[in-house]
Structure 1
């Protein structure tokens, strides 16, 4: 396997299932959030990301199974803050400012 091989769910090789809602607004940020959330969740099939634009920001709304909510938020919100930081960096790669909402 070389460094340029396709890896399903990888941020650098986007799947068409990852870019379905929001299309070209922030594909790297959306792929990163979905990949990270699926990796952390016990029920990865329940993870979904909706992308919308509000003013000059791209809002990524993350929905997960209620049993995974605590794991994705983390103690004192540290995991959620780490997710937001990583998604912001991925959004910068797309040239957009992002915000992550974790929906219950």
Structure 2
């Protein structure tokens, strides 16, 4: 999973050399923390959070396939979460498919 993030994030930012991705395991929940140059925060988060949501969705699909739980956070320069995950950590049993409202 970390390899996926290490591939995606540096390829969308202007300062790839400043990308830091850390991984911690907390009772079976893999937490990934992404730190980028402050100028790149907008690129990683995207308009209305669309980019980070897409990254989380791809990672979530991989996590379900591997049977693991994950959480991904992006930190700003003060090391505070800049975009909290609105989703609970995903387990294969709790994944819900949402269809667009028409």
The TM-score, its normalising length taken from structure 2, stands at 0.68
Q: Offset of 1:55 from its aligned partner?
A: 2.3
RCO higher in structure (CA 8 A, sep ≥6):
1
Structure 2 gaps of 5+ residues are: 77-102
Give the Cα–Cα distance (whole angstroms) in 2 for the partners of residues 79 and 45 of structure 1. Answer: 20
Give the Cα–Cα distance (whole angstroms) in 2 for the partners of residues 95 and 84 of structure 1. Answer: 16
Establish whether residue 62 from structure 1 lines up as the match of residue 49 from structure 2: no
Q: Which residue of 1 aligns with 2:95?
A: none
Q: Which residue of 2 aligns with 1:38?
A: 10
Q: Which residue of 1 aligns with 2:81?
A: none
User: How many aligned positions are there?
Assistant: 76
Q: Which residue of 1 aligns with 2:19?
A: 47
Give the Cα–Cα distance (whole angstroms) in 2 for the partners of residues 90 and 31 of structure 1. Answer: 12
Structure 1 gaps of 5+ residues are: 1-28
Give the Cα–Cα distance (whole angstroms) in 2 for the partners of residues 77 and 68 of structure 1. Answer: 13
Instruction: Report Cα offsets for 1:24-50 as digits up to 9, x if no partner.
Output: xxxxx1011111101101111111110
> Contact 1:63–1:102 at 8 Å: present in 2 too?
yes
Establish whether residue 84 from structure 1 lines up as the match of residue 62 from structure 2: no
The TM-score, its normalising length taken from structure 1, stands at 0.67
> Contact 1:32–1:90 at 8 Å: present in 2 too?
no
3-state SS in 2 of match to 1:100? strand
Q: Offset of 1:93 from its aligned partner?
A: 4.2
Runs of 4+, deviation exceeding 6 Å: none
